[in-house]
Amino acid sequence: MNKWLKCRSSESGSWEHREGIQARISELRALLNDREEAHRGDDEPERGRKVKLLEEARGELDKAEEAISPMHSPRYKNAAHVIVGRIHIDAAHNMLLRLSRKSEVLPMLPGVLAFLREHLLPGDPRRIEAERIARSVSEKNPPSEVEREILLEAMGVARQARVDEAMRVRSFVYIVWWIMLGLTALAVLITILGFVDPAAVPLCFTPEEPNGSAKVAVCPVEMNRIPKGTDPAKTRELVAGAAQGADYLIVELVGLVAASIAAAAALRRMRGTSTPFAVPLTLALLKLPTGALTAVLGILLMRGGFVPGLTNLDSSAQIIAWAVIFGYAQQVFTHFVDNQAQSILAAGGSGAATSAVPKTPLDLGDGES
């Protein structure tokens, strides 16, 4: 049982992302070991410098492994651990690039260039210079030390841009979560107040009977007959008697169900995300308390005569039906949040920098391109 619970704990949160990071750590460790073996015959000063870089790179990999470890923090499920792990892996990869000989940098250039095109704008001077270097090098003409420093600088900036993109997604998700929790608390508070004093703001209407002999106090749960000629004070008393504590609860539940259907329907336009942050789930959860509140507010607006011609509903069923419509109508408001989420995901996703594809492939062969 303990083994099962430990397994479940390790697979919670962004498990696939963490496994990908762990695989990348193993790959980089193997590459660092290979570089260490390949450079054992270097001169002592150069070898000493590279040994220090190797230690620093392995230290960064250790930090990345610690960041994604189940023992790192009680808040292990937080996707921020994945971002922190990637930051340390990026630092280790830059050190690997610095450790490599000029001829060893050459096979890494296509990956470097692809990463720069993904995260730097086409007009960025560092990306332009990196593309120039990639076009000019070959096996006979490997990158110089200056050119390697230019590539390292460009990679550092691109990796920081990727972190910034992830942080924007994280910030957006956190804002939506706090708004969702606030709306949920507000919906619960309204329900509690409805039970404490049902007659304070009743969700009731007073239509006339078909024969015009009397009026009826129609609420989501109960109905009361109001005889013709009843004075206003007695009318308010009869309406208050028909109001029940469950009125607000029922209307909010109906609005929540309608919002759930709207959230399911909205999934047809929502793309998945490769980020460790659950953006689609957060947007779907936001719709639920919003639907509960718009159902209540819509009924109150109708009761106040805001909608011409719909000032008096004739039955409890009509009130519930309109609560369904108003609950689904939350999509009008959350639609803007959905659009903003799509924009942020598009800006932080693959190909965010809208790269210009080269007309000819890079020539990394014997001759210059």
pLDDT score at 281:
82
Distance between CA atoms of residues 254 and 288, nearest Å: 11
**pLDDT per residue as tens, the chain (369 positions):** 454 344 444 444 466 777 788 888 888 888 888 877 776 766 666 667 778 888 888 888 888 888 777 665 544 446 677 788 888 888 888 888 887 777 777 888 888 888 888 888 888 898 998 888 888 887 778 888 888 888 888 888 888 888 888 888 888 888 999 999 999 999 999 999 989 988 888 888 887 776 666 788 888 888 888 777 777 788 788 888 888 888 899 999 999 999 999 888 877 766 666 666 778 888 888 999 999 999 999 988 888 877 666 667 788 888 899 999 999 999 888 888 888 877 777 765 444 454 444 444 444 444 433
- SS3 of 183-252: the string is HHHHHHHHHHHHHHCCCCCCCCECCECCCCCEEEEECCCCEEEEECCCCHHHHHHHHHHHCCCHHHHHHH
Only one residue has tokens 């005569």, namely 305
What one-letter code names the amino acid at 264? A
Distance between CA atoms of residues 322 and 251, nearest Å: 9
pLDDT score at 356:
44
Q: Which residues of 95-107 are buried (b: 16+ CB within 10 A; e: fewer)?
A: bbbbbbeeebbbe
Distance between CA atoms of residues 159 and 56, nearest Å: 18
CA 7 to each of CA 12, 75, 276: distance values in angstroms, whole numbers, following the listed order: 9, 16, 20
pLDDT score at 250:
93
pLDDT score at 41:
65
DSSP class of 309: T
pLDDT score at 223:
83
pLDDT score at 361:
41
pLDDT score at 263:
86
Distance between CA atoms of residues 48 and 102, nearest Å: 18
Model pTM score: 0.71
